[in-house]
Amino acid sequence: MLARIAHELFWLGRNTSRAELTARMIDGVFQADLQARPDDPAGVTLSWGAVLAIMGSTATSDSGRPSRAETVALLSTDPANANSVVASLQRAREGARSVRDVISAEMWEAINSVQLGLADAAIGVTGYGGPYSFVSYVKSHTALFWGVASRTMLRDDAYAFLDAGGRFESADMVLRMLRVALPPSGERSAPRDGQALALLAAVGGLQAFRRAHVVAPSAAAVANFMLYTRSYPDSVAASIDAVRAALELADSNPRGSDPVLRLTRVLADLDFRGQEGRRDGEELLEVCQIVGSELAAADRDIAERYFGGVAAAAAAARAA
């Protein structure tokens, strides 16, 4: 298939996933932030500064200490902020438009219709209503998109790139969340436990965690769960595995593919570390950093192997 189309599909997946995860994070943190500090270590807490850190340095607030209203608006509905939910959805729609012939009509309809109700759903973000309506709107429409994709789209290269993008973004976002929420030292600290829990609740994994583990949620336990647990679909290991599987399908020679080989190695490493038993604070953080940089390298590999030729050609054409 065309490299340009593959690239658009990959980023359609990434933008859709990013919009959803950002919305979920806003919801989880907003609810925890409205209330006072929990008097129990198992309570939920995450500051808006941490959320901005997760979203990268481009999302920094104007004032020193970011406020709730400011951050929520910045990350949800601010069209000028490239990392806002609205901007991600906008890019997803533009991407979908350029591959309208490849994706199914229902998928296009799902992503195109997001824009229609978005303005109404966003009213509460700045008013008294809070982000709830906006967040649940985004969650249900992105779920609709992935749902019709899984039912109506041919399982060909195109689907593989779309799927790879969506899962790649989950892995990346969850890693970012963990790197911010994990304790810097090996010690157990209540605020960090709370942050980890807030994130877990935000990505919708709290119930899964409780079913999988009898231990009380601590930052380390949650991080172990979100990193290594293959049976949990939003864990880093499960997401990377899905990306690898998708690329393997799309690649005519997967055994010679840098990104596939790299991801396979990362997975083996993750499985090995997961087998070694629980790790705390610093070690987990180190794993997150290693996997994070491997993912960034895989991102470059993917661009190089699958999208590279056309990009270079386009650049050369413009340069000429």
Partner 1 sequence: MSSTLPVGVFDEVFEHDGQPRPYAQALVAELERLGPDSLVAAGTLRDTIFMRQGITFDLTSADGAVADRPFPLDLVPRIIPAAEWRSIKRGLAQRIRALNHFVDDVYHEREIVRAGIVPWTLVASRSHFARAAHGIRPPRGVYTHVAGCDLVRDSQGSWKVLEDNVRTPSGISYMLENRIAMTRLIPSLFAHHRVRPIDQYPALLHAALRWAAPVADGDATIVVWTPGPANSAYFEHTFLARQMGVELVEASDLVVRDDVCYMRTTSGLARVSAIYRRLDDAFIDPLEFSPDSLLGVPGLIRAYRAGNVAIANAIGTGVADDKAVYCYVPAMIRFYLHEEPLLDNVTTYLLDDPEQLEAALSRIDQLVFKPTGESGGSGVVIGPAAEERRLAELEIAVRREPAHYIAQEVVRLSTVPTVSADGTLAARHVDLRPFAIFGEEIRIVPGGLTRVALEPGSLIVNSSRGGGSKDTWVLDDEEDQASERIYDTAFAPPSLPDLRLGSWTGQAQQQQQQRGLPAA
Structure-token pair, residue 83: 């990392």
> Is 119 near partner 1 (CB under 8 A)?
no
> Is 134 near partner 1 (CB under 8 A)?
no
Binders in 38-57 for partner 1, by CB under 8 A: 38-40, 42-45, 47, 49-50, 52-57
Q: Which of 133, 153, 230, 282 binds partner 1 (CB under 8 A)?
A: 133
- With tokens 């438009």, the residue in question is 97
Chain CA centroid to CA 281, Å: 22
Chain CA centroid to CA 209, Å: 18
Q: Which of 139, 230, 300, 305 binds partner 1 (CB under 8 A)?
A: 300
- Measured CA to CA, the distance from residue 28 to residue 299 in angstroms comes to 28
Q: Which is nearer to partner 1, 183 or 274 (CB)?
A: 183
Distances, alpha carbon 141 to alpha carbons 16, 103, 119, 275, in Å: 10, 16, 14, 37
Applying CB under 8 A, the span of 26-34, 114-122, 231-239, 256-264 interacting with partner 1 comes to 26-34
The H or E element containing residue 116 is helix 105-121
> Is 1 near partner 1 (CB under 8 A)?
no
> Is 80 near partner 1 (CB under 8 A)?
no
Distances, alpha carbon 58 to alpha carbons 68, 136, 286, 300, in Å: 18, 25, 24, 20
Binders in 157-176 for partner 1, by CB under 8 A: 176
Q: What sign does the dihedral 59-61-64-70 (CA atoms) show?
A: negative
| Least spacing, CB of residue 300 vs partner 1, in Å | 7
Binders in 210-229 for partner 1, by CB under 8 A: 210-214, 216-217
> Is 204 near partner 1 (CB under 8 A)?
no
Q: Which is nearer to partner 1, 38 or 204 (CB)?
A: 38
Structure-token pair, residue 51: 């959320």
Q: Supply angle C-alpha 299, 10, 225, rounded to 5.
A: 65
Q: Which is nearer to partner 1, 33 or 106 (CB)?
A: 33
Applying CB under 8 A, the span of 102-110, 127-135, 151-159, 227-235 interacting with partner 1 comes to 127-135
Applying CB under 8 A, the span of 222-230, 257-265, 268-276, 311-319 interacting with partner 1 comes to 311-319
> Is 286 near partner 1 (CB under 8 A)?
no
- Measured CA to CA, the distance from residue 25 to residue 55 in angstroms comes to 10
User: What angle, 0 to 180 degrees and rounded to 10, lies between the N-to-C axes of helices 236-250 and 258-275?
Assistant: 150
Q: Which of 76, 103, 141, 191 binds partner 1 (CB under 8 A)?
A: 191
